[in-house]
Structure 1
Amino acid sequence: MRSTATRLLLSLALLPLALLSGASLAQTKTVVPLGGNAFITRTAPAGEELVDDTGLHNWSSKQAVASVYFYVKRPGQLDLSLVGGLNGATRSTVEVSVEGQRRLAVLASGATTFPAGRFEVSRPGYVKVDLRGVRSDGDYFGDISALEVGGSATSAGLVFANDPANFYWSRRGPSGHLGFSVPDNTEYFYSEVTVPRGHDHIGTYFMANGFNGGYSGIQVNSASERRVLFSVWDSPTGKTTLLKKGPDVVAQDFGGEGTGGQSFLRYDWKPGQTYRFITRAHPDGNGSTLYSAWFGLPCANGRRDCPWKFIATWKYDGASTYQKGVYSFIECFNPALGYLDRKAWYGNQWAVSNTGAWTEMTSARFTVDATASNRQRLDITGGAAAPAFYLRNTGFFSRAEAAGTVFTRKRSHARPNVNLAALPEPAL
């Protein structure tokens, strides 16, 4: 058994090692690149500020705010520095803000790291760091490529977009899906979507009726244009062709993320209103499938003559099938606006068989895309409340459901007031 003196000597010998270890821990820094984690959240009238894969550039406006997001697993202290350099200036001052705490970082020529000070983070979850230019003796405040992040709040690790090859997708944000198990020989699928006010941001697709060959839903394409979209992919063995379309519907080929046929109706749909969707998968008897879609305008309860608009019928070669892989999803397709909070309610899902039997879908399996599963972004969730499911994404919120969760909603107990045989459809 060691004596008290021996234990004291041993403790004194180990003390420098402990201090060194603690100092090393305190000095550990994580570099968070702006390329996949930053957005211009307040833009100057000229709109010249730019975040690309390499960071923040052309930063000349005092009105512009660049916001950087990362996820901390515990509250505590954050020590922040800007990483980058000056562009045509010798000295600039930048305001750095976190949870209402403001510090000034001074950028001087000859350096690449510029301390911004210490901040307190009150809770685990996403942290928003705002950067605003204060003054510069040149035309630009600087080129900022990253944040250097340290402090006790980082001791359990950070989550942020760290794959430069996929910064485009990280800035678009994660997508979430509701998967429905429809009965065999389902020919029609009916569902409804309601987008809450304040969640209908530019660059959002609220997809209602998806299937193995395509999808149908509503989009916000710009400040002045909204669409009802119906697209069908090309098959591996043939090209999808248009058979017919409704009045004012635009039909064309599409490319980019795959190829196929796209049809859309420009329609100024409104948040807070409930819209109805029907898709049909009809085997044509010759080895192909005819996919059709209809869009239902808002409908007062009890009405049986609620108006429908026919979108299109596309012929999908190479497969003869009824509805398979039925699902809904939410996505952002504008990477510059991937920080805005989006949400939609998805309800009243019904599958209709080829013999006319209606079956209500009251459960859905929640899945996510690669941006979420690879932990580049965590702000994707879903659930069920009362008679509908919901999906929410891209708001840098901090609570999310796990992928694979099965949600269950209450039954509506009343079939939709729609006569499938009377849906509008032009002759071939």
Structure 2
Amino acid sequence: MIMKKLLSTATALLVAIASYAQAPSITLPGYTAYVEPSEKYAVVDEKNGVRNWTDNRGIVNFYFYAAREGSIDISLIANATTESKLSVSVNGSQKEVSIPSNTNFKSLPVMKTELGQPGFYCISIKGLSKRGATYANIKGVSLTGDITRNIQYNPKPWRRSASVHLSYPTPENKEVEWFYGEIKVPEGEDKLDSYFMSCGFHRGYFGMQVNSPTERRIIFSVWDSGGEPEERSKVKYEDQVVLLAKGDSVYASGFGGEGTGGHSHWIYNWKANETYRFLLHSVPTGNTTTYTAYFYVPEHKEWKLIASFRAPKDGVYMKGLYSFLENFNFENGQWGRKGYFGNHWIKTDKGEWIELTKAKFSIDATARAKDRIDFGGGSENGWFYLWNGGFKPANAKYGDIFERPANGIIPTIDLPKF
């Protein structure tokens, strides 16, 4: 009888081990982690994951989306130069784990927890103690269990949130000489490394950015022709846009790295909850077009010239009108951003003003690949809006059409005389 019980127990244990070994598993790569409040406390390397974690003020977070409820086992794939201790928490559960001194990465079991409902979850790792200079190097977080079959996570080192866009259809057989738009960013949504772009067109874009804790910009850029993706020095002179004029205190230069072209920006401390106005002008001449950007400075109650560029191999009025919201830094794609875009108008070459009250929603390659699924847009309070980041469920999909009520009030434009 004792022998039978022992055999039965051993068999059950073997079945459990085999079942666990066969359970589906995924690994959240270390290079997809985020460090709060910033990466000055730990480095996230796109090849090696989390390293040089020197300060316990830096909290390492991993995110995933569970499409259904269920249990999940969590392990850290980590090593340490000297022994350390970490705290791991998720979904209200918390466990401590010791990281032994080892040059090789080891899979270290942490906890089993129940995810009670579908949604986004954050695995948060804090440094508790260390004997050396750093807490640990984390190559990844392993998740095991049946629900991993339906888990979404970012498998790539591209840690920006997805870019989202609004394109504005214009009437056929109308030439767009002027393009006017407005932006308002709610309090708290003006996160670092955000670009709220009001007036985009087939050769460039015009909007405002948060560039550092102490610097914000109004930015206007126009692309070269020729298709060179990185280095402007490789662009033939006849394919380069030419700066014709710029406003006082405006910086202008060439740019590369995302296509090439002419760039201009004005350092201006724009504020949340304020409405800002943008105006673009296009003048085709032969096979070139001159594009000029103006920004209304509310403190001075006047329009300011940002810059004027002549674009070669063009020769048409503006087309492909759009707005977008972009997060342009890899370190803070976990933060949520939201902006309101509205009161867009065009003025044709015949002097006719037309209000743009419809917009088509689109997403970038990161969202289309489902590497990030936290984005959205819509219409509310008379504005269109766009948002990204924050690990919240999407509320819009590619191709959605939004509408806002027309206000019928043609913008008052009193440009400076030069």
Same fold (TM over 0.5): yes
Q: Give the equivalent residue in structure 1 for 2:180.
A: 190
Conserved in 2, the CA contact under 8 Å of 1:121 and 1:153? no
SS of 1:256's partner is coil
Q: Give the equivalent residue in structure 2 for 1:314.
A: 309
Q: State the Cα deviation string for residues 81-127 of structure 1 (Å, max 9, x = none).
A: 101212x21x3221111133211122224560111102232332221
Question: Bigger shift: 111-120 or 265-274?
Answer: 111-120
Structure 2 residue 29 is the aligned partner of structure 1 residue 39: no
Separation in 2 of the partners of 1:316 and 1:401? Answer: 35
Conserved in 2, the CA contact under 8 Å of 1:26 and 1:151? no
Separation in 2 of the partners of 1:307 and 1:118? Answer: 62
Shift of 1:209: 0.3
SS of 2:159's partner is helix
Q: Give the equivalent residue in structure 2 for 1:4.
A: none
Separation in 1 of the partners of 2:386 and 2:116? Answer: 27
Q: Give the equivalent residue in structure 1 for 2:199.
A: 209
Separation in 2 of the partners of 1:180 and 1:425? Answer: 30
- CA gap of 1:25–1:368, structure 2 versus 1, over 3 A, is farther
Conserved in 2, the CA contact under 8 Å of 1:186 and 1:353? yes
Q: Give the equivalent residue in structure 2 for 1:112.
A: 106
Q: Give the equivalent residue in structure 2 for 1:69.
A: 63
**Moved >4 Å (runs of 4+):** 19-22
Question: Bigger shift: 345-354 or 76-85?
Answer: 76-85
Conserved in 2, the CA contact under 8 Å of 1:363 and 1:407? yes
- CA gap of 1:48–1:265, structure 2 versus 1, over 3 A, is same
Structure 2 residue 154 is the aligned partner of structure 1 residue 161: yes
SS of 1:172's partner is coil
Q: Give the equivalent residue in structure 2 for 1:83.
A: 77
Shift of 1:182: 1.8
Matched residue type, 1:340: W
Shift of 1:263: 0.8
Structure 2 residue 169 is the aligned partner of structure 1 residue 181: yes
Conserved in 1, the CA contact under 8 Å of 2:65 and 2:120? yes
Q: Give the equivalent residue in structure 1 for 2:231.
A: none
Shift of 1:40: 0.6
Separation in 1 of the partners of 2:112 and 2:200? Answer: 48
Q: Give the equivalent residue in structure 1 for 2:7.
A: none
Matched residue type, 1:292: T
Q: Give the equivalent residue in structure 1 for 2:296.
A: 296
Count of equivalent residues: 390
Matched residue type, 2:352: A
Conserved in 1, the CA contact under 8 Å of 2:85 and 2:98? yes
Q: Which runs of 5+ in 2 are unaligned?
A: 1-11, 227-237
Which residue of the other structure, out of 341, 361, 384, is the alignment partner of 2:336?
Answer: 341
SS of 1:171's partner is coil
Q: Give the equivalent residue in structure 1 for 2:346.
A: 351
Separation in 1 of the partners of 2:322 and 2:88? Answer: 42
- CA gap of 1:425–1:97, structure 2 versus 1, over 3 A, is farther
Which residue of the other structure, out of 347, 369, 372, is the alignment partner of 1:374?
Answer: 369
Shift of 1:413: 2.2
SS of 2:331's partner is helix
Separation in 2 of the partners of 1:296 and 1:218? Answer: 12
Q: State the Cα deviation string for residues 56-97 of structure 1 (Å, max 9, x = none).
A: 0011212210111112111232211101212x21x3221111
Shift of 1:306: 4.0
**What TM-score does the superposition give when structure 1 sets the normalisation length?**
0.86
Which residue of the other structure, out of 393, 399, 410, is the alignment partner of 1:415?
Answer: 410
Separation in 1 of the partners of 2:417 and 2:384? Answer: 30
Q: Give the equivalent residue in structure 1 for 2:43.
A: 50
Q: Give the equivalent residue in structure 2 for 1:260.
A: 261
Q: Give the equivalent residue in structure 2 for 1:287.
A: 287
Q: State the Cα deviation string for residues 322-345 of structure 1 (Å, max 9, x = none).
A: 111100000011111111110000
Q: Give the equivalent residue in structure 2 for 1:8.
A: none
Which residue of the other structure, out of 213, 216, 219, is the alignment partner of 1:229?
Answer: 219
Shift of 1:264: 0.8
Residues 374-393 of structure 1 correspond to what in structure 2 (within 5 A)? 374-393=369-388
SS of 2:280's partner is strand
Matched residue type, 1:174: A
- CA gap of 1:21–1:135, structure 2 versus 1, over 3 A, is closer
Separation in 1 of the partners of 2:119 and 2:18? Answer: 25
Matched residue type, 1:180: Y
Shift of 1:293: 0.7
Q: Give the equivalent residue in structure 1 for 2:324.
A: 329
What is the RMSD computed on CA atoms of the aligned residues? 2.1
Conserved in 1, the CA contact under 8 Å of 2:179 and 2:347? yes
Q: Give the equivalent residue in structure 2 for 1:92.
A: 84
Q: Give the equivalent residue in structure 1 for 2:160.
A: 172
Structure 2 residue 97 is the aligned partner of structure 1 residue 102: no
Matched residue type, 1:243: L
SS of 1:173's partner is coil
Shift of 1:140: 1.7
Separation in 2 of the partners of 1:25 and 1:410? Answer: 58
Shift of 1:22: 9.0
Shift of 1:26: 6.6
Matched residue type, 1:158: I
Conserved in 2, the CA contact under 8 Å of 1:173 and 1:377? yes
Question: Bigger shift: 332-341 or 213-222?
Answer: 332-341
- CA gap of 1:43–1:239, structure 2 versus 1, over 3 A, is closer
Separation in 2 of the partners of 1:23 and 1:334? Answer: 42
Q: Which runs of 5+ in 1 are unaligned?
A: 1-15, 300-304
SS of 1:70's partner is strand
Shift of 1:152: 4.5
Separation in 2 of the partners of 1:77 and 1:415? Answer: 58
Which residue of the other structure, out of 356, 361, 364, is the alignment partner of 2:359?
Answer: 364
Separation in 2 of the partners of 1:22 and 1:367? Answer: 45
